[in-house]
């Protein structure tokens, strides 16, 4: 019930601190959680991707994550420096359903936070939880090394259960992937992100 109560908490915080205040709060909580989970190191991408599949990485707290090992990200030399990862279901989807069947309608406060974030930070949020989740992933990436290199996380695309999709042009340009590849993934996944080695020399988009 804590997740359903969270919706009331967000409503209350919007009244006290505004939607921008909630965003600041969520981002701080995302950073704190990532830092409390701590550091991880992997020998290479194979061992990292096996750990993702087995639910042993810091990202496993999100739920089931699929490493799309057919979608490698390569650098200017053609070396693999990252992969695309995807979740079939948004972490917040069960909560949205639980609100539906207990309270009734998802609060407008949820949309207000997502809208504020989309307009002022990154046009990718489907719900208020995306604000926390994106920052959490970015911070976790800094704490993971693959072959000695810390990672960087780019949230690439989201799909809400209402079918609304958002694709990050900024993120895709950075890793030089065609948006149509990602659009196709959104038929099967609700949240798509990239993990790559921080500072990798990528091909110009």
Partner 1 sequence: MESMEHGRVVDSNPFVDIATHLFLEDLASKVGVAGLNNYLISLANNLAANMPEEEYETWDEFLDALKNGHSILSSFEDVHAVTKHCMATRRSPFERGWREYAKRVGAFSKVHREVADYYNAKVKPTAVNSLHIILQTFRDAASKRIRVGGKPMRYEQIATVWVDGERKVAADDRLPSLLKRAGITKTRLGMLLRNNADVWLLTTD
CA distance 26 to 32: 10
With contacts defined by CB under 8 A, name the span among 22-30, 41-49, 174-182, 188-196 that binds partner 1: 22-30
CA distance 3 to 8: 9
SS3 state of residue 104: coil
Residues numbered 113 to 172 that lie near partner 1 (CB under 8 A) are 129, 132, 136
With contacts defined by CB under 8 A, name the span among 6-14, 151-159, 181-189, 194-202 that binds partner 1: 6-14
Residue number, 117 or 129, with CB nearest to partner 1: 129
Among residues 50, 103, 147, 173, which is the contact residue for partner 1, using CB under 8 A?
103
Residue number, 46 or 108, with CB nearest to partner 1: 108
CA distance 18 to 7: 15
Q: Which of 164, 156, 125, 146 is nearest to 22 (CA)?
A: 125
The helix (run of H) or strand (run of E) holding residue 191 is: strand 191-197
Residue number, 61 or 177, with CB nearest to partner 1: 61
Q: Taking the complex as a whole, how short is the minimal distance between the CB of residue 203 and partner 1, in angstroms?
A: 34
Please report whether residue 36 would count as binding partner 1 according to CB under 8 A: yes
DSSP codes of every residue in 118-175: HHHT-TT-SSHHHHHHHHHHHHHHHTEEETTEEEEEEEEEEE-TTS-EEE-HHHHHHH
How many positions of this chain bind partner 1 (CB under 8 A)?
A: 38
61-100 mask for partner 1 (x: CB under 8 A)?
xxx---------------------------xxxxx-xx--
Torsion of Cα atoms, 6 then 12 then 14 then 15, to 10°: 170
DSSP conformation class of 56: -
Q: Taking the complex as a whole, how short is the minimal distance between the CB of residue 22 and partner 1, in angstroms?
A: 10
Chain residues binding partner 1 by CB under 8 A are: 1-6, 8-9, 11-12, 25-26, 28-30, 32-33, 36-37, 58, 60-63, 91-95, 97-98, 101-104, 129, 132, 136
């Amino acid at each position: 019930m804590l997740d359903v109560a969270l919706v009331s908490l967000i409503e209350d915080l919007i009244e006290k601190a505004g939607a921008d205040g909630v965003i600041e709060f969520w981002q701080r909580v995302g950073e704190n959680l990532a830092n409390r989970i701590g550091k991880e190191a992997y020998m290479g991408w194979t061992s990292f991707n096996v750990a993702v599949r087995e639910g042993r990485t810091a990202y496993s707290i999100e739920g089931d994550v699929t490493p799309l090992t057919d979608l490698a990200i390569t650098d200017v030399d053609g070396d693999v420096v990252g992969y695309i990862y995807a979740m079939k279901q948004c972490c917040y989807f069960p909560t949205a359903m639980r609100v539906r069947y207990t309270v009734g309608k998802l609060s407008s406060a949820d949309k207000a936070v997502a809208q504020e974030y989309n307009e002022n930070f990154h046009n990718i949020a489907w719900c208020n939880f995306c604000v926390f989740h994106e920052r959490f992933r970015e911070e976790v990436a800094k704490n993971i090394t693959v072959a000695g290199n810390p990672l960087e996380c780019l949230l690439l695309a989201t799909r809400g259960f209402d079918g609304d999709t958002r694709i990050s042009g900024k993120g895709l340009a950075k890793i030089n992937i065609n948006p149509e590849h990602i659009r196709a993934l959104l038929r099967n996944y609700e949240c798509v992100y990239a993990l790559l080695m921080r500072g990798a020399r990528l091909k110009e988009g």
